[in-house]
C-alpha cells in the first residue's frame, strides 16, 4: 500500500503572523481567551470528569458525552500558543492538565471519561456517542503539544490509546466507523509524526467503512455511499471537512 502524498501542509511553527488584525486577535487569545476557557472547563466539570475517572474525585460524569473533546481542543490551542510564544504559567497549566488526563487512562490504553465510568458501553455506539471523535482530538492535541514543546507526556497517552484502537478495529477485526469524523485525520497526523504504519492503515479502514451503514447510512454522516463513489460533498459540514481532510 502506497502512503506517498503529493502535498504537505506547512508546519505552523514555520509561519509567523505579523498582520495587525490577526496579530491582535492572537494576542487576545494568549492573554485572555485561553485562561478564560480553562476556568470554564473547571466550572463546568470537564476537567473533574478526568479526576472522577482516575478516582481522585467521587461522582458521576458531568455534561455532554463529548465533553472530553473540549479539553483536548484547549490543549491543542494552548500548545500552538506555547510553540510561538513560550509562557511558563501556561506551560505549567498544560502540564498539570496532562497529568489529570494521564491519570484517567486505563491499563489497556483506553481513555474516554464518559465510558470509563460505564465500561460495558465501550465501542457500542460509534455513530452517536463521539467516542472516536474524542480520541481524535486527543491525538491532534498530542501532536501539537509534542511539536510545540518536544515533550512526550501527552503523546505517550495518545499512542497507547491509538494502539488500542488499531488493535480493535480493522480488517479481520471489529467493523465500524465513527458517526462524527475526526479519528481519520488525527490518525494520519500521528502517522506523519511517528511513522507507525498501523495508524495509516486504520485511518484508511475507517474511511473505507463509510457507505456500509455503520454510521446510519445517511448523507448527514457521509455514510450513504462509499467515499470513492460520493459525487459531491453533502451532509454535516464539520464532519465532511474532517473526513475529506483525513482522506486527502
Q: In angstroms, how far is the first alpha carbon of the chain from the final one?
A: 15
pLDDT-based confidence at residue 3 (cuts at 50, 70, 90): very low
Predicted confidence (pLDDT) per residue in 197-234, tens digit: 999 999 999 999 999 988 888 988 898 988 888 889 99
The pLDDT assigned to 59 comes to: 92
- pTM for this one? 0.94
Using alpha carbons, list the distances in angstroms from residue 194 to 21, 102, 199: 36, 20, 9
Three-class SS of 106-147: CCCCCCCHHHHCCHHHCCCCCCCCCHHHHHHHHHHHHHHHHH
Question: How many CB atoms within 10 Å of residue 242?
Answer: 22
Predicted confidence (pLDDT) per residue in 28-64, tens digit: 999 999 999 999 999 999 999 999 999 999 999 999 9
Listed in sequence order, the residues at least 6 apart from 62 whose beta carbon sits closer than 8 Å to its beta carbon are 44, 45, 46, 48, 49
Per the prediction, the chain carries an average pLDDT of: 93
For residue 2, pLDDT over 70 is answered with no
Report the pLDDT averaged over residues 237-247: 89
Predicted confidence (pLDDT) per residue in 117-153, tens digit: 788 899 999 999 999 999 999 999 999 999 999 999 9
Per-residue b/e over 122-161, b at no fewer than 16 CB within 10 Å?
bbeebbebbbbbbbbbbbbbbbbbbbbbebebbbebbbbb
Report the pLDDT averaged over residues 61-88: 97
Percent of the chain past pLDDT 90, that is, above it, reads: 78
Using alpha carbons, list the distances in angstroms from residue 181 to 41, 97, 220: 23, 25, 11
DSSP β-bridge partners for residue 174: 169
Predicted confidence (pLDDT) per residue in 179-192, tens digit: 999 999 999 999 99
Three-class SS of 67-83: HHHHHHHHHHHHHHHHH
Per-residue b/e over 58-75, b at no fewer than 16 CB within 10 Å?
eeebeeebbbbbbbbebb
C-alpha cell at 150: 518536544
Which is it for the CA torsion 82, 83, 84, 87, positive or negative?
Answer: positive
The pLDDT assigned to 10 comes to: 86
Domains of the chain: which residue ranges?
17-247
Amino acid at each position: 500500500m502506497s502512503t506517498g502524498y503529493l502535498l504537505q501542509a506547512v508546519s505552523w511553527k514555520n509561519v509567523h503572523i505579523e498582520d495587525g488584525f490577526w496579530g491582535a486577535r492572537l494576542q487576545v487569545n494568549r492573554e485572555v481567551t485561553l485562561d478564560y476557557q480553562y476556568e470554564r472547563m473547571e466550572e463546568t466539570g470537564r476537567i473533574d470528569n478526568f479526576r472522577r475517572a482516575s478516582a481522585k474525585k467521587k461522582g458521576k460524569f458531568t455534561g455532554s458525552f463529548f465533553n472530553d473533546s473540549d479539553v483536548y481542543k484547549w490543549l491543542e490551542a494552548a500548545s500552538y500558543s506555547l510553540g510561538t510564544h513560550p509562557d511558563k504559567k501556561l506551560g505549567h497549566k498544560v502540564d498539570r492538565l496532562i497529568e489529570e488526563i494521564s491519570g484517567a487512562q486505563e491499563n489497556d490504553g483506553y481513555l474516554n471519561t464518559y465510558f470509563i465510568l460505564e465500561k460495558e458501553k465501550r465501542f457500542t455506539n460509534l455513530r452517536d456517542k463521539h467516542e472516536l471523535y474524542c480520541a481524535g482530538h486527543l491525538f491532534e492535541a498530542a501532536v501539537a503539544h509534542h511539536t510545540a514543546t518536544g515533550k512526550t507526556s501527552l503523546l505517550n497517552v495518545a499512542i497507547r490509546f491509538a494502539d488500542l484502537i488499531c488493535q480493535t478495529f480493522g480488517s479481520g477485526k471489529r467493523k465500524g466507523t465513527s458517526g462524527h469524523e475526526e479519528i481519520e485525520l488525527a490518525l494520519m497526523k500521528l502517522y506523519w509524526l511517528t511513522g507507525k504504519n498501523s495508524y495509516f492503515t486504520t485511518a484508511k479502514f475507517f474511511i473505507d467503512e463509510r457507505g456500509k451503514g455503520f454510521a446510519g447510512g445517511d448523507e448527514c454522516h457521509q455514510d450513504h455511499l462509499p467515499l470513492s463513489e460520493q459525487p459531491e460533498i453533502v451532509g454535516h459540514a464539520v464532519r465532511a471537512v474532517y473526513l475529506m481532510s483525513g482522506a486527502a
